[in-house]
Amino acid sequence: MREIDASSYLRAASMDSAAWEKFLDSAVPELHDRMIYSIASAKGAPAIITPDKELKLSGFPTLW
């Protein structure tokens, strides 16, 4: 965790109730991808930076 805390580009995030709502309504198949999508969507992120095909198919804007 020290490396993540010291990073200028990584951040640990928790799932609040808004993220859990997105999670439960999501069709993203993989658990970790669904969590990433849910948190980003609930927090109003403009896009997710990823080459992940499942996240690209989620309909959420992605870059890469």
What pTM was computed for the model? 0.78
Domain-wise residue ranges, the chain: 14-63
7-14 contact pairs (CB < 8 A, 24+): 13/39, 13/43
Q: Please report the beta strands in 1-64, taking only residues with DSSP state E, as ranges in sequence order.
A: 48-49, 62-63
- Give the model's confidence band at 39: pLDDT under 50 very low, under 70 low, under 90 confident, else very high: very high
Percent of the chain with pLDDT over 70: 100
Looking at residue 34, its pLDDT comes to 93
pLDDT, tens digit, 9 for 90 and up, residues 42-62: 999 999 999 988 888 888 899
